[in-house]
Amino acid sequence: MDFIIFSLVALISFAGSIHIGAVNLAVVQATLNRNLSAGVLVAIGGSIPEFIYSFLALKGLFFMQKNQFILEILNFLVIPIFLVMGLSNLFQKQVNTIEKRFQISTKNIDFIRGFSLGMLNPQLLPFWFFILICLSKSFAINSLSTKYAFVLGTGIGTFAILCLFARLAHRYHEHIKKLLQKYSVNRVMGYLFISLALMQIIKIFV
């Protein structure tokens, strides 16, 4: 039973993370700009919030009702974060200078970037709460082992798809570079992050 729940949740997490998102873009960018290891570090950081939010989803409807303001805050907070990410990519030289000046480890930055972007995703908590409700109709997720299987499946599935993005970006590095000959990778990523911010604004106010 535990293995079935783990496998099913991992598959859902894998498929649910295929769409273009902030963490996916950060993984691809880190891989293209530096190396595969950098992309994997972003993937590790981006997967941890899945564990956290799926665990919170297990707390049930009571948590959702008492902490609705958290989702509202995240919905607004993610807008300036995406804008900052976009603008920082458009002016990447300045960002690199700041990193060198303060001697910030790129490994720490990659991990923190993935983790922070994942934590600021306002869709994770309601998504896993919805999945948990659907699975509860067929599986009894009430024992400690089944809960562990559920939480582990969420993070492992996301990590797998993010690593796949990193691997594909690494493998087709030259092809992607050729496609972006007129524009730098950072500039393209900057516009994509700004687009995500605009989409979030539309989602909230329209």
Burial of 161 (0-12, 13-18, 19+ CB in 10 A): buried
> Who has greater pLDDT, 111 or 143?
111
Query: Given a cut of 80, is residue 12 above it in pLDDT?
Result: yes
Residue 155 has a pLDDT of 94
Residue 99 has a pLDDT of 44
Query: Given a cut of 90, is residue 196 above it in pLDDT?
Result: no
Residue with tokens 């595969």: 36
User: What CA–CA distance (Å, rounded) separates 204 from 186?
Assistant: 27
Closest alpha carbon to 120 in 19, 15, 49, 178: 49
Q: Chain-wide mean pLDDT for the chain? A: 80
User: What CA–CA distance (Å, rounded) separates 189 from 171?
Assistant: 19
> Who has greater pLDDT, 106 or 194?
194
Query: Given a cut of 80, is residue 189 above it in pLDDT?
Result: no
Amino acid (1-letter code) at residue 23: V
CB-CB neighbours of 40 under 10 Å: 22
* pTM exceeding 0.75: no
Residue 168 has a pLDDT of 92
What number is the average pLDDT over the span 152-159? 95
